[in-house]
Amino acid sequence: MDTFYYIILALIAVFIVGPALFADRSPIPETSGKVYKIAKAAELDALLSSTAHVVVDFYADWCPPCRAIAPIFSKLADDHALTGHLAFAKVNVDHVKNVAGRYRVSAMPTFVFFQNGVPKGPSVGESIKALQSVSLTEDGLVDRVLGADRVALEAVVKAWAKEDDGSNAKQE
């Protein structure tokens, strides 16, 4: 009878602990040449000082939702990146811990939106603000999107892209 309990315990351990032990930890491949891979805090600081709007994806290689949203982030960068106006960056929280700590990132993925170097995103519609994954600043602008929420991420990026298109049209 004791052997039966040990077998059951072993099976439970394999099914509960096994996925964590054997999770895919290989680096998430980046499919866009328009996404900056941040390796040091100084690289992010330089990008934030040279670009009006920056979307930063804080991720980890071992995080399944990070892997799921990565191609969408790359596609948004391909479609909307504009030198000096809108940039996309990725920060691996396991490799650049000081940057993740600086912006209070504790869950992955977290997308932080920077305007002129400070965490402050665009204004979006009430339906997006109502999403549980969207964190707002005191003045009602998007600060960050928590988790792999495709709808919220796309809406915020497109709001900025629309702003940038309008300002570029005015300049020309």
Residue with tokens 């995080």: 63
Q: How many CA atoms, within 13 angstroms, populate the side-chain half-sphere of residue 119?
A: 19
Task: Tell me the C-alpha distance between 11 and 17, whole Å.
Answer: 10
Task: Tell me the C-alpha distance between 112 and 152, whole Å.
Answer: 12
Residue 27 contacts residue 95 (beta carbons within 8 Å): no
Active site residue 38: no
Q: Residue 148 has what DSSP assignment? A: S
The residue from 28, 48, 56, 63 that is catalytic is 63
Residue spans of beta strands (DSSP E) within the chain:
35-38, 53-59, 86-92, 110-115, 118-119, 134-136, 142-146
The residue from 35, 54, 60, 66 that is catalytic is 66
Active site residue 63: yes
Return the active site residues.
63, 66
